[in-house]
Amino acid sequence: MSQADSIPKRAGQYPNDHCPLCGGDNQCANSAAGDAAAGPPCWCKSVQIPEAVLDCLPEQARGVACICARCAKQAAPTTVPGVHQIVDQGQRPALQLAANGQRVLISLTGAQVLSWHTEHGDVLWTASEPKYEAGKPVRGGVPLVFPWFGDHRSNQELPAHGFARSVDWQCVDQQVSQVTLQTSDTEATRKLWNHAFLAELTVALGETLGITMTVTNTGDDTFSFEQALHTYFAAGDIHEASVHGLENVTFLEHAREPEGEWDHTAALRFRAETDRVFQDVPDELSLHAKTLGRTVTLHTSNSRSTIVWNPWPTKTVRLSQMQAHDWRSFCCIESANVGDHAITLAPGTSHEMSLTLRTSQDDP
Ligand code: TA6
């Protein structure tokens, strides 16, 4: 019997420990052996479900991997209020948080927050030609930067901004309108960065959007890493937007065609390509998107760097997923620890950086 023949035409309701595709428990070698750590990867992890089969599935079941009893126990239950397993615009596995009329979409690829829809509109920005591909970040939302920021210091062949935004993450915990995703070192990551680590991202939706990144050194050697929540904000007209809280803060400008002289005692305005790494930053900043009538407040903990970036027209044409005019409607304000504020972790220790976003409408 072919795989397709054995699949029910309309997936019914299956208990959590059964595959939502075929209804079976797909007991795999590992769970039979009772040793989840050893043995080959689960059967269900290696099976490619034919598109024709997936087309039979109702929307809410799309993209749910064919999982066996063991994996089902690892996968977080799908019955938590405010959390839905769906797929993103590229049919990649994703989670949707819902609360207070707001929605957040998170791709399991890179644990990337793709969008945050609120009563005031979409707070995060996505490029005009987004690509939702396996193993690649979408230009927009909140791509994760880890374990290095920007180009690798000694090997330009390595992926810019590290690999965290390109690897698969797993959902390991769900609470009401909150999920925790997790990834750890693999043979592939160790070829890029030879350290054992566990990285977790918790996303919580309520009156605010909370994003917390926790890194644990699970190896035997001390390591240092850089990190950033590379947040793309909808800015309306960038010429009318301003960033507040970085007045008089030390920074380095990395733009190829920067503004040149500007008033460091005033709020940051965008008048040219801007790519500024601020250090020893305060824990509260705000973006005033004047033409959207919106203010977004960023409150951080354990983030000592902030990068503010807009490519302006010249660099935009060199960037993937962008159209020529895209620069006009976004800015990145990235909560980070980079450069002199890279984090050093001894074996067995952890570091937690968090960002809380709150929006408000300007008085009419
Ligand atoms: O955070 C600013 C920055 O380093 C810019 O220099 C620009 O390269 C941007 O990140 C986007 O990087 P990406 O690798 O996502 O195209």
Q: ∠ CA 197-306-273 to the nearest 5 degrees?
A: 120
Instruction: Say if ligand 1 is within 6 A of residue 159 CB.
Output: no
**Ligand 1 atom, smallest distance to 319 CA:** 16
Three-state DSSP at 356 gives: strand
Three-state DSSP at 339 gives: helix
pTM, two decimals, is 0.80
Convert the pLDDT of each residue in 98-152 to its tens digit: 999 999 999 999 999 999 999 889 999 999 999 999 999 999 999 999 999 999 9
Instruction: Say if ligand 1 is within 6 A of residue 161 CB.
Output: yes
Nearest residue (by CA) to ligand 1, atom 8, is: 150
E strand or H helix that includes residue 72: helix 69-74
> pLDDT-derived band of residue 16, with 50, 70 and 90 as boundaries?
very low
Long-range contacts of 216-221 (CB under 8 A, 24+ apart): 216/345, 216/348, 216/349, 216/350, 217/345, 217/346, 217/347, 217/348, 217/349, 217/350, 218/184, 218/185, 218/347, 218/348, 219/185, 219/195, 219/347, 220/196, 220/347, 221/195, 221/347
Convert the pLDDT of each residue in 238-279 to its tens digit: 999 999 999 999 999 999 999 989 999 999 999 999 999 999
Instruction: Say if ligand 1 is within 6 A of residue 252 CB.
Output: no
**Ligand 1 atom, smallest distance to 334 CA:** 1
Instruction: Say if ligand 1 is within 6 A of residue 150 CB.
Output: yes
Instruction: Say if ligand 1 is within 6 A of residue 226 CB.
Output: no
Nearest residue (by CA) to ligand 1, atom 13, is: 160
Three-state DSSP at 257 gives: coil
Where do we find the tokens 């810019």? Answer: 160
Instruction: Say if ligand 1 is within 6 A of residue 330 CB.
Output: no
Residue 352 pLDDT exceeds 70: yes
Inter-CA distances, 336 with 83, 118, 179, 300, 302, Å: 27, 25, 21, 9, 9
Instruction: Say if ligand 1 is within 6 A of residue 278 CB.
Output: no
Give the phi and the psi of residue 180 in degrees, each rounded to 5: -120, 125
Dig out the tokens for 321 from the structure. 């997923």
Q: How far apart are CA 221 and CA 116, in angstroms?
A: 38
Q: How far apart are CA 125 and CA 168, in angstroms?
A: 22
What count of other Cβ atoms lies within 10 Å of the Cβ of residue 362?
11
Q: ∠ CA 269-270-273 to the nearest 5 degrees?
A: 145
Going from the Cα of 326 to the center of ligand 1, the distance in angstroms, rounded, reads 14
Give the phi and the psi of residue 250 in degrees, each rounded to 5: -60, 140
**Ligand 1 atom, smallest distance to 230 CA:** 1
